[in-house]
Structure 1
Amino acid sequence: MKKVELLAPAGNLEKLKMAIAYGADAVYVGGEEYGLRASAGNFAGEDMKKGIEFAHARGKKVYLTMNIIPHNTDLEGMGEYAEAVSAMGIDAIILSDPGVYSIVKEAVPEMEIHLSTQANNTNWRSARFWHEHGVKRIVVARELSLKEIREIREKVDDSLELELFVHGAMCISYSGRCLLSSYMTGRDSNRGLCAHPCRWKYHLVEEKRPGEYMPVVENERGTFIYNSKDLCMIEHIPEMISSGACSFKIEGRMKSSYYVATVVKAYRQAIDRYYENPEGYSFDRFWAEEISKASHREYSTGFYFGRPMEGGQIYHTSSYIREYDFVGLVKAYDSNTGIATVEQRNRMQSGEEIEVETPEGRYFNHIIAGMKNEDNEDIDSAPHPQMTVYMPIDREIPEYTILRRKSKQ
């Protein structure tokens, strides 16, 4: 049985490295143009080249998003850009528009093409059409149930790959093409500039009573009528694999390195456990607990088991649930002295208890016994963003290890 691919988001070079260190088989990235996450760090030429080299050296793949819905001016320079990223070694380009497809095929005819969820592929006829025109993989629309996905799998050629989202934020316009942001703020979500107005709080104003704001209430629970829950399928790995998909995709190019590492590791462990013994597979609640330590909204299973109806929305708030703080990233460990070199990510103090999360295995608890700064001076706290500190840790830990603690909020 060929193991399903675990595909992770990488908004910048650090996130790419963290995703791969924590178990991703492939990552998807955006350049500075043509992708749908303009607010992500994204990759300039040199960083993209470094990221591809890092991934390929470890037997992993890198896919590039070019999935905007372009206007005429967006087409300028697109062919040259495709040639440049192809020369760097990008493994596939993810796109949604037929015009972009034709440009990429003319510029780099051998490039592997993946059809983005933005293309709203909801049926087997559409999937077959794109495959006959040279698309290698379809990222199916998020409005589909597992039953519908299985039917697509049965009715298309075995050589066509299907990719499914398994985790992350959901858009009110599930597979995109939303005009709300463009109308309200002038920021076109279909060109990567979404202002996320679906997360805002709304009131109703009657035309002849300006200034009188009436709350929009759904069953007395609140006013965030567009605010979707996050997707989480960690408890349904066997069902997802039985759909016939070849790749499980995690959303989140704008999320933190900590989010990427935490979520990737949990899905990596669940997927590996399944393939070790499919018949005897059992879900470990520890994986769900770990995922919940990353910033998230309330979870749902999206459309996979039927229409979510009101269960897919959060009406009372648009806030994230944040129960843990990412306080440090291990850059090196000296096994002779037992000293870890740590880049600070949130204020931490001597004497407090933290969790040490390594790329493999389970985390362990640790009391910060002391810290030194770059001048080898003893310090009681590390208050400055991304300052380098040195601290003793009594077991050897690898680069990319995460230090976290339960939030003090």
Structure 2
Amino acid sequence: MKKPELLVTPVTVEDIIPLAEAGADAFVLGEQRFGLRLAGEFNRDDTKKAIELAHSKGKKVYIAMNAIFHNEKIEELKDYTRFASESGADAIIFGDPAVLMTAKEVAPEMKLHWNTETTATNWYTCNYWGRKGAKRAVLAREINLDAIVEMKEHAEVEIEVQVHGMTCMFQSKRSLLGNYFLYQDKAMEIENRKQQKNMFLHDKERENKYPIFEDENGTHIMSPNDICVIDELGEMLEAGVDSFKIDGILKSPEYILAVTKAYRKAMDLYFEDPERYEEEKENLLSELEAIQPPNRPFDTGFFFKETVY
């Protein structure tokens, strides 16, 4: 049984060293022109510096190129892929086959992680992309624990699972999605719309607030709760899941650092002494609940089919 990678999403270059020292094994970063829902924006200089810093600590950096690409951006893929390769990135995250084809052409040695966020729901599809050149499949957030374990048993590629943070419920290429709700006079209304930040869709019937933000890729509506399975890692560790991801989107660097430390402790405890992990996991969960914003309670996502959107 091997210890999985702990994958983290930094907000700035200054987060790399503290997160590495806190126990992160790898980082996802990039710029919104090519990557979806990034915790922070990293221009090319930032990316080069982040890779240099991560490698100095023996850590890896994966460049997000998992946006949905339209014709006007296709010509840019070669240059950015070449940049990622020449900068020493350890992998490119992709969803669009255009990125895979581009990488094969200009950076054939680059490791590729397939991540569509929604369609990795069976091991056969994971293996399909593996045979096309992907080395890892990032599983959909909507599948349960039994399915994750079964997919790992049959997968010919590495398997990555999100274990902490918010998830995307809806994406539209269009901006200002809230205008639809305002025009239709729906029950959900936009809060903080004038500030164009910290916006929420407020579902008064369920008393849920869904974070909404817009970037170059359009409008994204996020889950009202955060996934947290720090006390439910055992089965995935036993199954040999290759990577656990902490998604820090819309979170502060301090929060991401604290969560990274907690998951590193949980994973190390399990491998050193599984019984101690069982004894300590509730305390670890309590530590994270203490720093969790009160308006964003924890749940276990779809791991046990508790979440219903």
User: What's the TM-score, normalizing by structure 2?
Assistant: 0.82
- Determine if the alignment matches structure 1 residue 184 to structure 2 residue 177: yes
> Higher mean Cα deviation, 61-70 or 100-109?
100-109
- Call closer, same or farther: CA 1:65–1:180 in 2, change over 3 Å: closer
1:199 Cα deviation from its structure 2 partner: 3.3
Specify the alignment match of 2:289 in structure 1: 292
Residue 180 of structure 1 and its aligned partner are, at CA, apart by 8.4
Match of 1:108 in 2: 107
Secondary structure in 1 matching 2:233: helix
Take 2:276 and 2:251, find their aligned partners in 1: how far apart are those partners? 34
Corresponding residue for residue 121 of structure 2: 122
Name the structure 2 match of 1:37: 37
Partner of 1:169: 166
Q: Distance in 2 between matches of 1:119 and 1:231?
A: 16
Structure 1 residue runs of 4 or more that deviate by more than 6 Å after TM superposition = 195-198
AA in 2 matched with 1:199: F
**1:300-345 C-alpha deviation (Å, 9 max, x unpaired):** 0011112523xxx6xxxxxxxxxxxxxxxxxxxxxxxxxxxxxxxx
**Do the aligned residues in 2 keep the contact of 1:121 with 1:140 (CA within 8 Å)?**
yes
Partner of 1:20: 20
Asked if the contact 1:258/1:294 (under 8 Å) is kept, the reply is no
Partner of 1:5: 5
- 1:143-162 correspondence runs (5 A): 143-157=142-156, 160-162=157-159
1:118 deviates by 2.7
User: Which of 190, 205, 211 is the matching residue for 1:217?
Assistant: 205
Matches of 2:65 and 2:279, distance apart in 1: 36
C-alpha distance in 2, partners of 1:144/1:267?
21
The match for 2:185 is none
**Structure 1: which amino acid aligns with 2:2?**
K
Distance 1:229 1:253, change over 3 A: closer
Q: How does 1:128-277 map to 2 (within 5 A)?
A: 128-157=127-156, 160-173=157-170, 178-179=171-172, 182=175, 184=177, 199-201=200-202, 217-218=205-206, 222=207, 224=209, 227-277=223-273
Give the Cα separation in 1 of the matches to 2:240 and 2:175: 36
Cα gap change, 1:83/1:185 in structure 2, threshold over 3 Å: closer, same or farther?
A: farther
Question: Aligned-pair distance for 1:197?
Answer: 10
Instruction: Between 284-293 and 118-127, report the one with greater CA deviation.
Output: 284-293
Shift of 1:153: 1.8
- Structure 2 CA distance for partners of 1:131 and 1:197, relative to 1, 3 Å: farther
Deviation string for 1:50-80 (max 9, x for gaps)?
2111111111111111110111112222111
Residues 294 and 181 of structure 1: CA distance in aligned 2, closer, same or farther (over 3 Å):
farther
Moved more, 282-291 or 14-23: 282-291
Unaligned runs of 5+ in 1: 187-194, 203-215, 314-409
Deviations 1:151-188 (A, max 9, x none): 2122232xx10000000012224xxxx228646259xx
Asked if the contact 1:11/1:41 (under 8 Å) is kept, the reply is yes
Distance 1:223 1:91 in 2: 39
Work out which structure has the larger RCO, using CA pairs closer than 8 Å and 6 or more positions apart in sequence: 2
Deviations 1:76-133 (A, max 9, x none): 2211111112111100011111122211221111100001143521111211100111
**CA–CA distance in structure 2, aligned partners of residues 303 and 289 of structure 1:** 21
Instruction: Calculate the TM-score normalised by the size of structure 1.
Output: 0.63
- Number of the residue aligned with 2:190: none
Q: Give the number of aligned pairs.
A: 279
- Identity over the aligned pairs, expressed in percent? 38
SS in 1 for 2:86: helix
State the distance in 2 between where 1:251 and 1:55 align: 18
Structure 2 alignment gaps of length 5 or more = 180-195, 211-220
Tell me how far apart the structure 2 counterparts of residues 224 and 119 of structure 1 sit (CA, whole Å).
Answer: 22
CA contact (8 A) 1:32 1:44 kept: no
- Residue 279 of structure 1: how far off its partner (Å): 5.2
> Does the 8 Å contact 1:19/1:27 carry over to 2?
no
Compared with structure 1, are the counterparts of its residues 294 and 117 closer, same or farther at alpha carbon in structure 2 (3 Å cutoff)? farther
What is aligned with 2:186? none
Q: Which has the larger radius of gyration?
A: 1
Quote the residue 2:277 is aligned against.
Answer: 281
Summarize the Cα distance change of 1:223–1:64 in structure 2 as closer, same or farther, 3 Å threshold. Answer: closer
- CA–CA distance in 2 between the matches of 1:45 and 1:234? 34
Amino acid at match of 1:96: G
Change (3 A) 1:299 1:171: same
Q: Contact (CA 8 Å) 1:67, 1:95: kept in 2 or not?
A: yes
Letter in 2 for 1:217: E
Residues 41/148 of structure 1: CA separation in 2 closer, same or farther (3 Å cut)? closer
